[in-house]
């Protein structure tokens, strides 16, 4: 369980830093009012919640199905992440200028899952138990 929680915390931390910096620099361009729809604090809260929740799900899946559980969780995460970009692409707000929201939101959709999956081999396959 310790490795799974470390994985979740590290994923949340790195994703939050990367996503927060990306949005900070994007919003500094002042292209539209996307920061009112997608504030940085919301993205960080979602990254932390998802990373920790997914680590608990991964722990249970690994315990029940071994490596097949890991493959299934990662596959579902990939499919859901890819499918969820439809929302920012089709987002329309009549009161705010959100012309470029998809430009900001689509990369933000992929930051956490990429880091979450990239850390798995580093954390779970480390040979610290020599």
Confidence (pLDDT) at 28: 93
Examine residue 82 and state whether it is found in any structural domain, yes or no.
yes
The CA distance from 36 to 22, in Å, is: 16
Instruction: Give the confidence band of 74 by pLDDT, cuts at 50, 70, 90.
Output: very high
Q: How many domains does the chain have?
A: 1
Confidence (pLDDT) at 128: 55
Examine residue 127 and state whether it is found in any structural domain, yes or no.
no
Examine residue 64 and state whether it is found in any structural domain, yes or no.
yes
**Range with the lowest mean pLDDT among 8-17, 84-93, 107-116?**
84-93
Range of the domain at 12: 2-122
């Amino acid at each position: 369980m310790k490795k799974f929680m470390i994985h979740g915390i590290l994923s949340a931390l790195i994703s939050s830093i990367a996503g927060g910096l990306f949005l900070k620099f994007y919003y500094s361009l002042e292209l539209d009012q996307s920061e009112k729809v997608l504030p940085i604090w919301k993205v960080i809260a979602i990254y932390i919640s998802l990373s920790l929740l997914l680590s608990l799900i991964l722990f249970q899946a690994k315990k029940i199905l071994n490596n097949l559980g890991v493959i299934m969780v990662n596959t579902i995460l990939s499919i859901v992440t890819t499918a969820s970009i439809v929302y920012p692409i089709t987002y329309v707000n009549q009161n705010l200028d959100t012309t470029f929201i998809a430009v900001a939101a689509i990369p933000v959709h992929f930051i956490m899952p990429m880091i979450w999956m990239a850390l798995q081999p580093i954390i779970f396959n480390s040979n610290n138990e020599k």
